[in-house]
Amino acid sequence: MRPEHRDHRDDQGDGGKPTEEQDHRRITDALSAASADVDARQVPEALCRACVGLVPVSGASVSLSGGGAMRATWCASDDTSGQLAEAQYTLGDGPCQSALDLGVPVLAPDLTQGRDARRWPLFAQQAVGLGARAVFSLPLGIGGMAIGTLDLYRDTVGSLSDRALRIALLVRDAVTFAVLNLQTEHDVVEQATGDGVASWVEASQADHTEVHQAVGMVMVQLDVDPQQALDRMRARAFAQGRSVSQVAHDVVARKLRFWPETQGRRTRDDDPHRGGQEGLDGER
């Protein structure tokens, strides 16, 4: 059994633990420092890295929800965080999706065994393969309506301490404020400048827009609703060990077409990843 991750940041010696006000001030200072003197396009990533410096975790990412099952990763502190976010999007399952659906924090301190591993078996297997042993997903939003999630992972098994969770929730509140103010700031930024918040929005929406476009194309190809189209793309991605974003890119580039089941056998193969073999579930 893996050792529990000990939160050394809770050790305050004889001075006692900081108050919530002191933690809030430290979070504000850390996030402000992270975004200072940084190119505008790099600010979201810098904020995610700052989250890792505030909470005893190995990595952090922020995913925004576009409604329904659509999501886009706004920032990630490292490759593993980004891959974990993409894995949950591709599978349509995991702590992140549960936090979005429920509007409450979803904490999975041990993905290697027990309840957490059983709750999301496919995601847990992929997460452990990526080096994550625990994941904590905190919904962004106000009044129970989630607009995205702050997702934290650590490479050892273990729950967050009471203070670490308190800090994580304060960080979540700060990130929520930043995200909710993105559109307002975007409206007043001159598009011609090519920098500032406009760049953050453009960068975070790039993959999101492509997935939307691909879903629309698959809806027409199969005559199905948006959720069914996304489910078919997810099935293809999972079967090929790819991400939904990669499949969406091929659909938009017209390298991949989905056919109705009654038209499953064709001489033409528009998917370069199938190697000329018959597609899955009537797809070619």
**Type of residue at 173:** D
Q: What is the pTM of this model?
A: 0.67
- Which residue's structure tokens are 């929730």? 169
C-alpha torsion 217→223→224→229, nearest 10? -30
Sign of CA dihedral 1, 160, 137, 243: negative
Question: Which is more confident, 262 or 150?
Answer: 150
pLDDT tens column, 48-79: 889 999 999 999 999 887 655 566 788 899 99
Q: Give the residue with greater pLDDT, 281 vs 177.
A: 177
Q: How far apart are CA 118 and CA 112, in angstroms?
A: 9
Fold of domain 15-180: Beta-Lactamase (3.30.450)
CA–CA separation, 85 vs 242, rounded Å?
A: 13
Domain boundaries, the chain: 15-180, 196-282
- Spatial contact of 127 and 75, defined as CB atoms under 8 Å apart: no
The predicted structure's pLDDT at residue 249 = 84
Strand order through the sheet with 106-108: 70-76, 59-67, 145-154, 134-142, 106-108
DSSP 8-state assignment for residue 254: T
AA letter at 2: R
Local confidence band at 124 (pLDDT 50, 70, 90 cut-offs): very high
Look at residue 175 in the predicted model and tell me its pLDDT: 82
Tokens linked to 17: 């633990």
Which single residue is written with the structure tokens 């992140």? 96
At residue 262, the pLDDT reads 63
Question: Residue 203 to residues 45, 79, 83, 197, 213: CA-CA distances in angstroms?
Answer: 11, 17, 17, 10, 16
Q: Is there a contact between 152 and 168 (Cβ–Cβ < 8 Å)? A: yes
Q: What is the pLDDT of residues 173-189, one digit of tens each?
A: 888 877 776 544 444 34
The more confidently predicted of residues 70 and 152 is 152
